[in-house]
Amino acid sequence: MHAFYTSIPVRAEGCAQCAPLDDFVVFSASGADALPFLHGQLTQDVTGLPADAARLAGYCTAKGRLLATLVMWRAAPGAEDGPHLYGLVRRDLSQALLKRLSMFVLRAKVKLAAASLNVAGVQASPAEAAALEAVTGALPRAAWQRADLPSGTWIAAPSADGRLRWWWIASDEQLDQAAPLAAALGLAPASQWQVADLAAGIPWIATATQDVFIPQTVNLELIEGVSFTKGCYPGQEVVARSHYRGTVKRRMAYGTVADASLQAAALAGVDVFDATQPGEPIGRVVDAASDAGVASVLFETTLAALPEGDLRLGAADGPRIATAPLPYSITP
């Protein structure tokens, strides 16, 4: 962890909260063919990505099952052989992801590599954001908008509760010069940011959930993570068929489990049951995080089970999942 983060005082109120996100890593795609290459690999319209925006995207197997989800954005203009695109992914799958993508580069002028960048999540009320901007300069406010500032790249993240949220991506050199920012921030645990990601309905695929879900099952197309007009990519036929035939019967829902004994890090991939129909699981946990003794979970479920189901974690008599609405609709 960069020394800048340890210089931030721990204070829970009155200022924007900054959480170093060590579970995430940034990779770069360099070379003249970087954009068209990734355009043919990801669910997102890479070549049509605006310069001032970021987007969610998925990387699928040929059967349409997700191997990764990522936030991607264009690099600032530079040398032709320099970075053209960056991607933010879970650290535990990043090496395998880059290795697999590199298998398909062939003769394309593309180099994929881990980037030496630091990742943090910053959350603030509107008043706290104004105080933060007095130091950083104007920050993007609308979800998925992006700004390159002297302190780094700031990407506005979706929010479920009215707070403003940003992924803050910075080099060591930028953090070395960011001392004035520490006075405008409070240090927060990563779990606080992760819980807010879950409430916002952002599906992060990890090693435990690779090759399990199709994009629609984790609502990826509902949050602009899938383009149905961009052309081919691995799994495109499966994803398009589910979309155009209206055959999506499973979605990702959000809930909380009031059980302080749960180890959230071990919940990804755990079965979800409906106690009123206990014969077999109705879905699986997509992602989870704990804060203040409560586990927040994003989980796959049949749409039929959501209105009346008695949803349980791990077994039909397991801890009860109290469902709550996502900030976007998951029903047709």
Higher-pLDDT residue of 151 and 249 is 151
- pTM score: 0.95
What percent of the chain is predicted at pLDDT more than 70?
98
Top pLDDT among 77 and 105 is at 105
Among 117-126, 194-203, 255-264, 312-321, the minimum mean pLDDT is found in 255-264
pLDDT of residue 316 exceeding 80: yes
Tell me the Ramachandran region of residue 200: left when phi exceeds 0, alpha when psi lies from -120 to 50, beta otherwise: alpha
Angle (CA) 142-143-147 rounded to 5° is: 70
Residue 3 has pLDDT above 70, yes or no: yes
Strands 118-124 and 16-20: antiparallel
* Rounded mean pLDDT, 54-83: 90
- When pLDDT is cut at 50, 70 and 90, the band that residue 139 belongs to is very high
pLDDT above 70 (res 79): no
Question: Is a pLDDT exceeding 90 seen at residue 45?
Answer: yes
Region of 279 on the Ramachandran plot (φ > 0 left; ψ -120 to 50 alpha; else beta)? alpha
Which domains does the chain possess? 24-114 (3.30.70.1400), 207-324 (2.40.30.160)
How large is the average pLDDT for residues 165-177? 98
Residue 54 · residue 73 · CB < 8 Å = yes
Residue 147: which pLDDT band, with cuts at 50, 70 and 90? Answer: very high
Q: Where are the beta strands (DSSP E) in 42-190?
A: 54-60, 66-74, 83-90, 111-114, 118-124, 146-149, 152-157, 164-170, 185-187
> Poorest-confidence range of 34-38, 204-208, 231-235?
231-235
Q: How far is CA 76 from the centre of its chain?
A: 22
Read off the pLDDT band of 80 (50, 70, 90). low
User: What residue type is assigned to position 282 of the chain?
Assistant: I
From the list 192, 214, 241, the residue with the least C-alpha distance to 300 is 214
